[in-house]
Amino acid sequence: MTGSMPSWKRASRSLLERAGLWKPISEARGHYRRVRARREAMDLYRQFIAPGDLCFDLGANVGDVSEAMLALGARVVALEPQSESVQALQMRFAGNASFRVIPKAVAAKTGTAKLLVCESSDCSSLSAEFVEAVSRSGRLNLDLCRWNEERDIETTTLDNLVQEFGVPAFVKIDVEGLEDEVLRGCSRRLPCLSFEFTPERLAPALACIEMLNNLGPVEFNYTIEGRKQLQLPSWASGDELATRLAVTKFRVELVPPGDVYARFM
């Protein structure tokens, strides 16, 4: 917001607006950021995805990860329960035979659930505990992120998706605080996957690490959002990564969510 800008920035913006240059410059900067983010995402995901691979994008939102997967030649099945985001996905990938969107959430079992809908679509969640934790953390601008609606949505499971579409080479799980519930609906090892963790509420991520450990030999790494690079120079065991996440003194008002990556050996 301009009210929080230093005075020299406000003056510069005012001059650019009067000259009619602010909007095109802002649009160009936004386009550059999107292109750079897509390139960085592709550099990360190509470690796990090859042309022709099947991928699941669970919690697809408006499709930034799906776009990177498709650009790598993958076939993508995207799950997204918010109707507005489903429409955005359908428009964004219209005519792309390698993309399919299913308007459901992924959970531990099939049925229905209550979605807590946020004004910022990437913060909508099935978890009241997640909403409470991030609201207290100070990481979000609560003037812009309010959960003021509940919707009944359909749920399915990872096991059902595998039965219908086949075993994916890679699964991205980003469901705002219920990543562990997604894995409870999966009874088999999947080659590679990622799941989000939030510094203010690590319990779901730690539960995911434990569940994956119980499925067989697996190794882990992680990223911090905004830095699409694996943070560990070598992959770690589940116990090593769980300890690292648990003892790291995240300043949650500054550190955004990250993603844990897992690959079975």
- Chain-wide mean pLDDT for the chain? 83
pLDDT greater at residue 248 or residue 52: 52
How many of the other CB atoms lie within 10 Å of CB of 118?
Answer: 21
How many of the other CB atoms lie within 10 Å of CB of 16?
Answer: 15
Strand partners, 171: 56, 193
pLDDT in the model for residue 4: 47
pLDDT in the model for residue 238: 95
**CATH code for 39-103+158-264?**
3.40.50.150
pLDDT in the model for residue 201: 81
Q: Which segment of 11-20, 35-44, 62-71, 141-150 scores lowest on mean pLDDT?
A: 141-150
pLDDT in tens, 121-132: 566 766 667 666
- Across 133-148, average pLDDT: 61
pLDDT greater at residue 7 or residue 108: 108
pLDDT in the model for residue 1: 36
Of all residues in the chain, the percent with pLDDT exceeding 70 is: 74
pLDDT in tens, 180-208: 999 999 999 999 999 999 887 888 999 99
Q: How far apart are the first and last CA of the chain?
A: 48
> What are the counts of helices (DSSP H) followed by strands (DSSP E) for the chain?
9, 10
Strand 111-118, strand 75-79: pairing: unpaired
Closest CA to 54 of 176, 193, 215, 155: 193
pLDDT in the model for residue 248: 74
Closest CA to 224 of 239, 203, 245, 208: 245
Q: What is the pTM for the complete model shown?
A: 0.81
d(CA 102, CA 67): 16
> Domains of the chain: which residue ranges?
39-103+158-264
32 in Cβ contact with 148 (< 8 Å) = no
